[in-house]
Structure 1
């Protein structure tokens, strides 16, 4: 077992420490913020390290077996009616998660793939078109697919919000007992990067909710033209509304392959310049996103240059800074590498 230390900002090369037996090495925490999940007494021991920092598990095995191993490592099972949140991908793009990769895990939890319509037009802007995309991209062949805002929105409160104090998600959100959040980590034209936080905020937002987040609570119809930083903060706040609603009934897995600077919402994404990295998982979405970003910065500096520039030029790390300040998670973590 390898433990890699996640460091804050500056993104130095990660230090690899080879451990034997039960030896655990943890980060020195730089603040008191803890993941929301850690506040629940049901958090499994596998979720946190010796200093109470969240664990992020990683494998370089990007396969159905590797995905299953990451889910098992978390020590928390999703149960009841399970929503599997992922991006169905905009037609024309092809970097979205492969149904062949996720099929075994989705079916093992008897999951329903859930999505919401877009706010920017395109071929996923209404339910009928979106369902056809899910068919065309192979998702309906492996599981039922539910467009959660087919029947409108519901509000989830977030009283601590600086920009938004409620989040609007698809009304079918309430139909699920637990969520498996499967994210494809990649760049994003506005957020800098997209991972777990984006997947449960913008991704679970209804069409109205997406506009609400983008406009930082100014509009439910117009997602364009809002200040960049308040949009990033609003994503963190919307994620907090989902996290507060679900408690310990949610788990997060992110796949780091096809690492384009563009999101799966693009119909013409740039080709990836980086090698595939692996699959990461955590009960803390802030730690998970930070670990994914750290993996980018620990990669070949020439081949990761475009993605690093995308993150920095959009001030992408503000989303995680704000989420951590709100107590939604920690950017300090222990990365446990499991291979074989």
Structure 2
């Protein structure tokens, strides 16, 4: 079987060729111009970064990709879906404020920003997943599914639940609506933090399935009635309703792969990953730790599975930065840990290979790749 092609460029720059020009050259060499963008709505899936975190991708990179697509006739927009956890991106208004605060706006990126699952994270499309082992119907942000073409622009970094956050996680988890994110992280049924609940009853009024009642002035959710739509999380002004976060990491990784299949199936897609500022934790954190390895470079491919493998392989060949979280973990585990890769050492309870293995199994792409350096 033919290997997937992954294109790579390092981060060396000259007065005649800066990094933004190298990124443009990379995606063109990787074949992005083969896609017919003419008058097609094109979603660039990106993480805008939680304010306080400085490791997220600068908007300059997004502008390069947006301009390439616009020059090919595409109708391009940047997108991400609302978060499940409490933070600055849990509804569309706060999400846009956070994006603007981090430098993402139509003037810096050359295109509009659309929050994929709407104001409260409930604007979703239901996508059948016939190949799914765990997911039979994915819940995807409607704006993402309305797009004709999907391009992912990913900051490759560590992640406490999946080992690393690459293209598959950026797409699969990132494009899930609030209900979709709940489905990946748990059985899809939220709970109530009774100490925080003030008994206002707004959640009960907004529940279409009569699953929420007030008992002694506290909200209670009947899981036999709850369908996991996530509307109660979006309507609670006191952050009293939360997801369970109880799914095993291996199952979470498989669900992410199945959501990725739902998003990419039957439409053109292209993927870019930047292995820079490789912090040990997700950009959803309101802080970023010291990178665990030096910056590597920029990668592009039509195959997100091969892309994640290439990024992981090159990251694992890189030296560990002294004083980083990874260096500390390596020291702590030295006495009782066998040989592990950088991301397995950083987060010993994770196994990132589960996601790429499952993604290959269900036909998203191939792990075997040919690395082409330009």
TM-score, L = length of structure 2:
0.72
Query: CA offsets per residue over residues 31-56 of structure 1, 9 Å max, x none?
Result: xxxxxxxxxxxxxxxxxxxx511011
Change (3 A) 1:235 1:192: same
**Alignment check: 8 A CA contact 1:85 1:115 kept:** yes
Which residue matches 1:99? 59
How far 1:174 moved relative to its partner?
3.1
Matched, 1:81 2:81: no
**Alignment check: 8 A CA contact 1:163 1:217 kept:** no
Matched, 1:213 2:163: no
Greater relative CO (CA pairs within 8 A, separation 6+): 1
For 2:370, which of 334, 337, 340 is the aligned residue?
334
Matched, 1:300 2:319: yes
Q: Output aligned runs, 1:41-52, within 5 Å.
A: 52=2
How far 1:100 moved relative to its partner?
2.0
**Alignment check: 8 A CA contact 1:253 1:280 kept:** yes
**Alignment check: 8 A CA contact 2:184 2:247 kept:** no
Query: CA offsets per residue over residues 277-323 of structure 1, 9 Å max, x none?
Result: 00011111010001111011111156565643135531121111111
For 2:349, which of 313, 323, 329 is the aligned residue?
313
Secondary structure of the 2:265 match is helix
How far 1:83 moved relative to its partner?
1.1
**Alignment check: 8 A CA contact 1:216 1:231 kept:** no
How far 1:273 moved relative to its partner?
3.1
Secondary structure of the 2:182 match is helix
Q: Output aligned runs, 1:147-162, within 5 Å.
A: 147-150=115-118, 152-162=123-133
Matched, 1:241 2:262: yes
Change (3 A) 1:264 1:240: same
How far 1:108 moved relative to its partner?
2.7
**Alignment check: 8 A CA contact 1:193 1:310 kept:** no
Secondary structure of the 2:264 match is helix
Give the distance between the partners of 2:48 and 2:320, measured in 1 at CA.
30
Alignment gaps of 5+ in structure 1: 1-50
Alignment gaps of 5+ in structure 2: 13-18, 71-75, 190-227, 231-242, 330-341
How far 1:65 moved relative to its partner?
1.2
Give the distance between the partners of 1:302 and 1:126, measured in 2 at CA.
36
Change (3 A) 1:157 1:243: same
Q: Output aligned runs, 1:30-69, within 5 Å.
A: 52-61=2-11, 63-69=19-25
For 2:361, which of 325, 329, 340 is the aligned residue?
325
The farther-off stretch of 188-197 and 147-156 is: 147-156
Give the distance between the partners of 1:327 and 1:217, measured in 2 at CA.
25
**Alignment check: 8 A CA contact 1:212 1:223 kept:** no
**Alignment check: 8 A CA contact 1:185 1:194 kept:** yes
The farther-off stretch of 98-107 and 144-153 is: 98-107
Which residue matches 2:332? none
RMSD over equivalenced CA pairs, Å:
1.9
Give the distance between the partners of 1:187 and 1:320, measured in 2 at CA.
15
Give the distance between the partners of 1:126 and 1:290, measured in 2 at CA.
33
Give the distance between the partners of 1:316 and 1:199, measured in 2 at CA.
14
Change (3 A) 1:119 1:316: same
For 1:194, which of 156, 162, 165 is the aligned residue?
165
How far 1:216 moved relative to its partner?
5.7
Change (3 A) 1:279 1:166: same
In the alignment of these two chains, the number of paired residues is 286
How far 1:232 moved relative to its partner?
1.1
The farther-off stretch of 182-191 and 262-271 is: 262-271
How far 1:245 moved relative to its partner?
4.0
Which residue matches 1:250? 269
